């Protein structure tokens, strides 16, 4: 038995889609790295995710009546 013919058009499309997706991922990674580099330094010991939260009972939203 001989080798099969040329790869199908679908295979080529699939490979191009894979390469394009990889390029988009690399761009996103580079963008995230740039954002991290541009972000200013934070205070030591302060978690930026919870820095704005006030402990204790929360005020009742005014739109709930």
Read off the pTM.
Answer: 0.51
Per-residue pLDDT of the chain (65 residues; tens, 9 = 90+): 556 667 799 999 999 999 999 999 999 999 999 988 887 666 777 887 887 888 888 888 887 55
3-state secondary structure the chain: CCCCCCCCHHHHHHHHHHHHHHHHHHHHHHHHHHHHHHCCCCCCCCCCCCCCCCCCCCCCCCCCC
- The pLDDT assigned to 50 comes to 82
């Amino acid at each position: 038995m001989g080798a099969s013919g040329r790869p199908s058009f679908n295979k080529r499309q699939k490979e191009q889609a894979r390469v394009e997706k990889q390029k988009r991922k690399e761009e996103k990674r580079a963008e995230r790295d740039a954002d991290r580099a541009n972000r200013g330094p934070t205070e030591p010991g302060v978690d930026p995710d919870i820095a704005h939260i006030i402990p204790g009972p929360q005020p009742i939203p005014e739109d709930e009546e």
